[in-house]
A = this chain, B = another copy of it.
């Protein structure tokens, strides 16, 4: 029986916290050794976290990451570890850890994995296909063909990133060179539906190649991104041997039998269609481990059940909030609760993430606030068990109006006064933040942000925008999902059922200004997430004037989005780093 015991660490690193990350890595290596694992695998860039961005331009940071790797190397007694880190050009094998003191040009960097056996780096693997989704091409070069790791005769291919199921040539070359197990190190951010499609692609790949396939993905929130874990090992027929839990840090262990791969035949001799020369570029790194044959019991792999879509989104938001707060040194958050569904959902997510005692609600009524909103805001706070302060804004609003009266002259009331109210609320939340050190969570959704139905420095003021990438339609779905989790709804039913309103002037409704959300949201999705043209969206069944109006609102509100706080990405294209529009933009897809 040729059995490889793999430990996969679905870890949650903090970007830049080299000491903290290494400390955890060393702990897991100890655990894996105790469990007699042959091989322990960490996610992509485990040492630095994903992605350190321009920290990578600091020579000292890259040096510190190499020093951190050294500590990991020392811990790898009696097993093989594959650890993501940042490599410099010209630093292979024995020179991996050579620090740079060069003061000249930036040296080329690689998104790399160190292959460590018995406290020695035996090789490195550079990421081959550097995607630009997270600006990786700003920092990393594409690497050469990675080697094959041969542990006690068991042949293991290693790749970084999503190359495996993109059928990259280097994966094929490793298979042709005899890989029996393929291991991929990932930092693959959550996105609706992505874990399922990742598993499908991996299954197709494993079946087609008759090779055991695995992916180790990180978890945790980092700025706009949240990583979902869902690490996987599939056997050579595509059956799940192990699946990590979504959004949970854990050490996933599995025994994989390589004999089955053998019996399917063809290892080494398999026809890959690749030129012999390509296959011959695959180096073999031979590693000898103390054999444990017969000494250890078989490990039963854990196969976590995959989550349903709405639950997956909800958990993504919870973990993102938890990690943004924790990793930035905060404990508590403050939220303006209005009685509306956006702030209610945000408050519930925050309470689930941080505990009710760490969430503070501020209700800031104006003369336009309805009794229903007042009652619902108070009911929500009571259901959640969070603390509430009520700070009315009428007095301050009046003092602004007085101060501005001479400058405004005879001009009539307009959007200015609505924005002023929103900005007073923003200031109050920021004052609470300044005074008590709480982080302000903003409550705007993607639909609003798309069409600019929000006030810069008003309801957009804060440090982290929890539902920034969640459409209003999905906000309702999430609210209903969460309400169904307990014996009684935590978000008051009035909040969910009443028509949405900003309550910044008498009898205001969102639909006075915007198309109904069931119309708006699909138009926004087509225009923002899918880059559809006006004609294409109309052809899909929408009214031309409505589409034109929405497109125009999206285009002219780029300046607001540019100053918005960051928030959690859950769609293929969030407002943020995913979508980079010029503010100065003379392009009109609509004939005017």
Contact = CB atoms under 8 A, between A and B. Distances in A.
Interface of A: 14-18, 20, 49, 51-55, 57-61, 64, 132, 135, 137-138, 221-223, 323-324, 327-328, 362, 389, 391-393, 395-396, 398-400, 402-404, 406-408, 411, 414-416, 419-420, 423-424, 426-428, 430-432, 434-435, 456-457, 461, 463, 531, 533, 535, 559, 562-566, 579-589
Q: Could you say how many copies of this chain the assembly holds?
A: 2
Nearest to A415: B434
B419 A391 contact: no
A36 B317 CA distance: 65
Contacts of A398: 399
Nearest to A138: B132
B61 A587 contact: yes
21 contacts: A15-B582, A52-B585, A53-B580, A54-B580, A55-B581, A58-B533, A222-B584, A327-B584, A391-B403, A391-B406, A395-B403, A396-B396, A396-B403, A399-B399, A400-B427, A404-B432, A407-B435, A408-B435, A416-B435, A419-B431, A430-B456
Given A328-B583, A395-B399, 20 more contacts: A15-B585, A17-B586, A52-B582, A55-B587, A59-B533, A132-B138, A223-B583, A327-B584, A327-B586, A389-B407, A391-B403, A396-B400, A400-B428, A404-B431, A407-B432, A407-B435, A416-B431, A423-B427, A423-B457, A566-B583
B428 A403 contact: yes
A466 to B, nearest CB: 15
A16 B223 contact: no
Nearest to A587: B16
Given A406-B389, A423-B427, A432-B407, A584 B223 contact: yes
Q: Which of the listed residues A16, A407, A416, A586 has the most CB atoms from chain B within 10 Å of its own CB?
A: A586
Contacts of A463: 559
A435 B411 contact: yes
Residue from A223, A457, A562, A582 whose CB has the most chain B CB atoms within 10 Å:
A582
A58 B531 contact: yes
Contacts of A323: 584
Nearest to A222: B584
A17 B586 CA distance: 4
Contacts of A137: 132, 137-138
A589 B19 CA distance: 12
A430 B419 contact: yes
A55 B582 contact: yes
Nearest to A403: B391
A418 to B, nearest CB: 9
